[in-house]
Amino acid sequence: MNANIVKDWPYPRLVAHRGAGKQAPENTLTAMRVGHAYGYRMFEFDVKLSADNLSFLLHDDTLERTTTGRGRADALPWRELSRLDAGGWHSAKYAGEPLPTLAAIGRWARAHGAFCNIEIKPTSGRERETGAAVALDAAALWRDADVPPLLSSYSEDALAAARDAAPALPRALLFHELPPDWADRLARHACTAIDVNHKVLTADLVRSARSAGYRVLAYTPNESERVAELAAWGVDSIITDAVDHIPADALPPAPPLT
């Protein structure tokens, strides 16, 4: 049985992926604002470190896909990263949108009563360093908050470092494919939840995880029928891009653990 069981799940049932999914440039403050305008109150986003160890939002190891920069995301100091255009790739409407720091997102989220799922997304080779730094920053930004952010990562090294740096923050281990020893891995990192690609999620897995005391998150279903099916299985939080056609209040609260 999970020693870090969370009886009362404090997070919304629906979570906006990378801010507002595809409605605005991912992992930007504008994306959070757009998702919030659609009624969403929890946001998943990716955080890594700059060359000078500042926590900022970006998904990829490199800058090309979503900014005007080039090369490794951790090769530039924040002063240079902050000058990049992180919105023009999406549409002319958002040209000039900057990369945000985790601190900026934290301040906005707390001011607007929003919840956060911080995915620790280290640039390759900086797993433990990033996990520790992001966890410490999150602990400071959400100090005394009624509901802390949920930390998650595919990197077990990053999640272990986050656990050691800020043990009070809840953690979820991410899986694209589900290994047979998933429960042992969650226990090793003192996780409260498992976060799984919805395409490999089954009703049996949801039942097994929740019976063991783990909450279940799923990413990234964008069809209303699939979201409803996952909710019926008991998935606690569902991360979606479809903020424009799946209402944020479409689902009842997550069921209690039995």
Is 245 an annotated catalytic residue?
no
d(CA 122, CA 145): 25
Q: Select which of 17, 36, 189, 198 is catalytic.
A: 17
Any idea what DSSP says for residue 8? Answer: S
Backbone angles phi, psi at 53, to 5 degrees: 65, 35
d(CA 99, CA 216): 30
60 neighbors 66 (Cβ within 8 angstroms): yes
**SS3 call for 176:** coil
Task: Tell which residue, 215, 210, 239, has the closest CA to residue 227.
Answer: 239
Is 17 an annotated catalytic residue?
yes
Q: Select which of 36, 59, 112, 245 is catalytic.
A: 59
109 neighbors 115 (Cβ within 8 angstroms): yes
Q: Which residues are catalytic?
A: 17, 59
